[in-house]
Amino acid sequence: MINAVGRDIPEEILKITGKEVFHGNNYYDGYEYKKDGPITKCVMNNSDSKLVKSIHEALVKCEIKDGMTPGFHHHFREGDYIVNMVMEEIHKMGIKDITICASSLGKAHDPIVPYIEDGTITNIQSSGVRGKIGEAISNGKLKGLAIMCSHGGRVRAIETGETRIDIAFIGAPTCDDYGNCRGIGGKSDCGVLSYAMVDGDYADKVVAITDCLVPFPNFPAHISMTKVDYVVEVDAIGDPKKIATGAAKPTTDQRKLMMAEYCTQFVVNTPYFKDGFSYQTGVGGASIASTISLSKIMKERNIRMRFGVGGLTKPMCDLLINNQADCMLDTQDFDLDAVESLKDLRHFRISAGEYADPFNKGAVVNKLDFVILAALEVDINFNCNVVVSSDGIITGAQGGHPDTAAGAKCAIVIAPLLQGRIPAICTEVTTVTTPGESVDVVITDYGIAINPGRQDLIEAMKDVDLPFKTIEELRDIAYSIVGEPKKVQFEDRVVGIIESRDGTIMDVVRKIKKFEFS
Amino acid sequence: MINAVGRDIPEEILKITGKEVFHGNNYYDGYEYKKDGPITKCVMNNSDSKLVKSIHEALVKCEIKDGMTPGFHHHFREGDYIVNMVMEEIHKMGIKDITICASSLGKAHDPIVPYIEDGTITNIQSSGVRGKIGEAISNGKLKGLAIMCSHGGRVRAIETGETRIDIAFIGAPTCDDYGNCRGIGGKSDCGVLSYAMVDGDYADKVVAITDCLVPFPNFPAHISMTKVDYVVEVDAIGDPKKIATGAAKPTTDQRKLMMAEYCTQFVVNTPYFKDGFSYQTGVGGASIASTISLSKIMKERNIRMRFGVGGLTKPMCDLLINNQADCMLDTQDFDLDAVESLKDLRHFRISAGEYADPFNKGAVVNKLDFVILAALEVDINFNCNVVVSSDGIITGAQGGHPDTAAGAKCAIVIAPLLQGRIPAICTEVTTVTTPGESVDVVITDYGIAINPGRQDLIEAMKDVDLPFKTIEELRDIAYSIVGEPKKVQFEDRVVGIIESRDGTIMDVVRKIKKFEFS
């Protein structure tokens, strides 16, 4: 069945998953449903200890068995040890047919590929996958399906009961013996536990794994003891160097600086750029540069940001230090400066649900004026692809891309026209991950295209001196330089689904095929 | 059927309520159940406003109808305007058969008595009732039943789905236009919103009512926008003078000071009094005096409190100021000093669920070493009554009494032997609200009785110079002074239930009967 972004979703996949095709952004707006709840074992006595000696013991106590779904969070990013430690133990115990429900998976998790190959892991739900797991999935090694969801979409799936997490594993930088987890302190400081909060709320069993056990009460808890069954102390939950890095040096790449300047000029000429505006940006070089250049104009014009949102980095947190923003709302910390900034009382932790969940009564993304995003590919319908590389391999994550793009009044995608010999602006993206209706502006180093659906923005820019072009013109320039690339060749078998934030199917990902010349 | 505290619970009541009789404190320990969830209406678009013009409009939008259950919190205590405003509007709309589910009701709510009499309100669930509502219930004016539950028990009832709140009304000292509520700031500052948090989590519709609308985002939110459907601004949500009072002057009543001194001497001679102990106390004169006298010994012996819990007042918060305690865990603020103390980063807000819920994976009460409580009556089985006065009228509230008594390692009840001509220590309490198995020590001005179930405490006190007596001896002294009072006379009709924290029936309250001499 053809969906609202023109993708043909196989009937068989609709049948297997019980899902609908994507019908457009606000198809589920106003939808009513009953939230799911976890199976909870009451602790009324005052003598039980939650401490267990090992992950093995926790798994035994949680009655791990074939077919279960463990939950994981990705706040330790490329420094995460939790997924591998838990999966190694599950594998040792001979458990099969596991569905991993992770907020994201990356290169740190390459060691679990053998467990995909041997049927220990048969399904994956994740914002995305990078590294060897992505290759394994694209090569058809996963028996079941990889469902790629946005950060908000994962919360939705869990809240509706579509995904039921049997056992959540919370990597906790600090934890007390009764399970109060905090994202800060200890030796594996990740700042926040935003993505894990929904696991705490909805998983039947919750296991906190820490390398820094602290006295009760470890307050204010980011995940409460009232949701935690067991606490395991281990030597290390992550590699601090890869959890939060030092601040990225501002880019000196002229192309990125130019796109950043275009972006800033665009932002300041919209009607949304006024005192009290709100703003989110990613961690790419151009995004960071645009935050820096925007802050200069804010200072010149005496315009103050009400709140910034993220995935935070130093340049965003600097807006607090320089008193140019009232507050920051934080779901993830990318560098040590952002972690440090959490000491500032204007820097607030928010859950992934508060951030981006489309199925609650209103998330922060709905209140965004601007979001600055990147993309691997953008097509002439403004559809974006942030998950599948142009060679067809799963290599990225949806993250908050579709959530923020849908919510923000002005969603700007920055992409260099060419990535090496690959055009980023094309006729049709390899895989649709964010629908064109969410994307208002595309900024490239060769010009800027405004979505024709946003005549108000086109009107606002009519006297602005920026290199505006149509999206087709940008595509044509790209193709004129590097030629129109041959389409990636796939086999029929569907290996993954790009799930829209509302749970419908945006696109499918098929098994990669060795390129054959026609 | 006779329950574990010897009370005969009528079969008819068991049938109507579907409840079991009380089987003892840990009967439900380890019980597994699936948590309920609210019916949630998704807000995916970025243009909806949650602001409505009046409580009337909110009620219309929430589709109020006969038989519904609104939820209320009691953080504004005797200064609360919310219950009366909402019920007045519901009454005007001609709605009938309402079940009020309040965390507590007091004299501030005397104006709703006519709505009980005319059938607008037919059932009440509350920690307790004071004032004219209590009289109305005891006189049989409520058509249905008054279910009196503990603070933890209310959370349990809502979590299990036994109580379903159709519309929760959150009185919010500050709120933004998207529903982020904070208990602090504005003109009706109550400090915390702990009792309302479960309403936010489980009510199908949530209406925030505020008299101080602030810019978005009102963070850190105590009740999140993700749970709030509508926001109403009104002139005043409460009377600040009656919400948080000035600190009570330390008592000069010699009898109370003596009991406080007994209490402190008892506490310091238990094995639990050591560095890192935890402690909760109430707001009575003797309780406050015992906190003050305890702090002196803590200083002398260089013993530090790890955490205090409450219902907080100045003397508890002074332990933070004087650096004698690591932190305070706060569910309610009784005076302005406690509200002010929330600025201290060691003073943490906790939800009623975190505080006392018996049906989560472990509440703070389970970690208490000491709790110092009061009681209207204590009987020779150590059963306490904190709800029904000795003349048979409902006049108090369970509050956290049964929760903390069950959780704490050492639960101490302070009660003057005589309240005027009424013995507080008696053969059989009028109504059992906290079971004797939870109560370890009773301290009176005529002596101290240790529960024979606590041979360890009896052993610990064997060389301590305090006026120890058996509970029967204390009762006998009381009766020897004022005589054994005649039993209160009740009619057969059950008007209320004392619900145990686990949802079973501890006792029933019957319609009061005009006293007849035999």
- A positions 15-54 inside 8 Å of B (CB): 25-26, 28-46, 48, 50
The pLDDT averaged over each successive group of 10 residues in chain B (518 residues) is 98 98 97 98 96 98 98 97 98 98 97 98 96 97 98 98 98 98 96 98 98 98 98 97 84 94 98 98 89 96 97 95 98 95 97 98 98 97 96 95 98 95 96 98 98 98 98 98 93 98 98 83
Residues 6+ apart with CB under 8 A from A60: none
Instruction: Give the Å distances, CA to CA, from B85 to B54, B68, B181, B189.
Output: 11, 17, 19, 18
At A383 the pLDDT is 98
With an 8 Å Cβ cutoff, are A42 and B216 in contact? no
With an 8 Å Cβ cutoff, are B206 and A33 in contact? no
Domains in chain B (CATH in brackets) are: 51-243 (3.40.1080.10), 254-495 (3.40.1080.10)
According to DSSP, the β-strands at B146-148 and B121-126 are: parallel
Measured between beta carbons, which residues in chain B are less than 8 angstroms from residue A217?
306-307, 327, 329, 348, 364, 367
Closest residue by Cα to residue A78 from A237, A243, A240: A243
Average pLDDT over residues A416-425: 94
Report the 10 Å Cβ neighbour count for B259. Answer: 26
Contact indicator for A264, A288 with CB cutoff of 8 Å: no
For testing the chain A interface, which of B46, B61, B214, B344 should be mutated: the one with the most A CBs within 10 Å? B46
The first and second tokens of residue A515, run together, are: 């390129």
Contact A104, A127 (CB under 8 A): yes
Chain A, window 163-202: residues with a beta carbon less than 8 angstroms from a chain B beta carbon: 178-179
A 397-426 near B (Cβ less than 8 A): 406-409
3-state class (DSSP) for residue A432: coil
**Scanning the structure block, which residue is given the tokens 């013991």?**
A57
pLDDT at A429: 97
How close, in Å, is residue A31 to chain B by CA atoms?
5
Q: B158: which residues sit within 8 A by CB, 6+ positions away? A: B36, B101, B164, B165, B198, B199, B201, B202
R_g over Cα of chain A? 22
Strand partners, A125: A101, A147
Candidates B39, B348, B359; nearest CB to A34: B39
Considering only residues 308 to 367 of chain A, which have any Cβ-Cβ distance to chain B shorter than 8 Å? 327, 329, 348-350, 353-354, 357-367
CA dihedral sign, ordered A506, A510, A515, A518: negative
Q: Which residues contact B47 (CB under 8 A, 6 or more apart)?
A: none
**Subunit contact B42:A359, Cβ cutoff 8 A:** yes
Nearest to B361 among A31, A228, A408 (CB): A228
Q: Which of A22, A46, A228, A275 to mutate to test the interface with B (most CBs of B within 10 A)?
A: A46
pLDDT of residue A63: 98
Q: What percent of chain A has pLDDT over 70?
A: 100
Closest-CA residue of A relative to B326 is A217
Span A466-493, average pLDDT: 96
The whole-angstrom separation of Cα B233 and Cα B15 is 43
What is the average pLDDT across A360-372?
98
Nearest Cα of chain A lies from the Cα of B63 at a distance, in angstroms, of 14
Tokens of A32: 């009513």
Exposure string of B91-128, with b = 16+ CB inside 10 Å and e = fewer, is beeebbebbbbbbbbbebbbebbebbeeebbbbbbbbb
| Angstroms from A307 CA to nearest CA on chain B | 8
**Can you tell me the mean pLDDT for A225-244?**
96
Question: In this predicted structure, what is the pLDDT of residue A512?
Answer: 96
Give me the phi and psi of B397, to 5 degrees please.
-135, 145
Q: What's the pLDDT score for residue B246?
A: 80
* Average pLDDT for chain A: 97
Nearest-CB residue to A30 (from B30, B42, B357): B42
Helix axes A285-301, A254-268, angle to 10 degrees: 40
Residues of A in contact with B360 (CB under 8 A): 40, 42-43, 226-227
Q: Which amino acid is at A279?
A: Y
Strand partners, B232: B52, B209
Q: Comparing C-alpha atoms, which of A39, A41, A42 is closest to residue A68?
A: A39
- Model ipTM? 0.97
Q: Which two tokens stand for residue B85?
A: 């405003």
Could B353 and A42 be called an inter-chain contact, meaning their C-beta atoms sit closer than 8 Å? Answer: no
Test mutation, B226, B306, B410, chain A, max A CBs within 10 A: B226
Residue type, B338: A
Interchain contact B160–A (C-beta under 8 A): no
Of A26, A159, A276, the CB nearest to B44: A26
Q: Which two tokens stand for residue A490?
A: 């796939």
Maximum Cα interatomic distance, chain A, rounded to a whole number of Å:
73
- A170 with B353: CB under 8 angstroms? no
The answer to whether the Cβ–Cβ distance between A30 and B36 falls below 8 Å is: no
Q: Pairing mode, if any, of strands A277-281 and A370-374? A: parallel
Interface test with B, best of A41, A182, A222, A226 (most B CBs within 10 A): A226
Q: Do B42 and A358 touch (CB under 8 A)?
A: yes
Strands (E) located in A25-67: 32-34, 39-41, 51-52
Task: Determine how many CB atoms are found less than 10 A away from the CB of residue B517.
Answer: 5
pLDDT of residue A514: 82
Q: How far apart are CA B293 and CA B270, in angstroms?
A: 16
pLDDT digits (tens, 9 = 90+) for A440-473: 999 999 999 999 999 999 999 999 999 999 999 9
Identify the pLDDT of residue A103.
98
Nearest to A42 among B29, B179, B216 (CB): B29
Rounded Cα distance between A458 and A469, Å, is: 11
Could you give the CA distance from residue A170 to residue A185 in angstroms, rounded to a whole number?
Answer: 15
Helix A314-321 vs helix A285-301: crossing angle, to nearest 10: 20
pLDDT at A342 exceeding the cut of 90? yes
For the segment A148-194, what is each residue's pLDDT rounded down to a tens digit?
999 999 999 999 999 999 999 999 999 999 999 999 999 999 999 99
CB atoms within 10 A of CB B255: 16
- Write the CB contacts of B180 (distance below 8 Å, at least 6 apart in sequence): B216, B217, B218, B219, B221, B223, B224, B225, B228
Query: Is a pLDDT exceeding 90 seen at residue A282?
Result: no
User: Are the Cβ atoms of A42 and B359 closer than 8 angstroms?
Assistant: yes
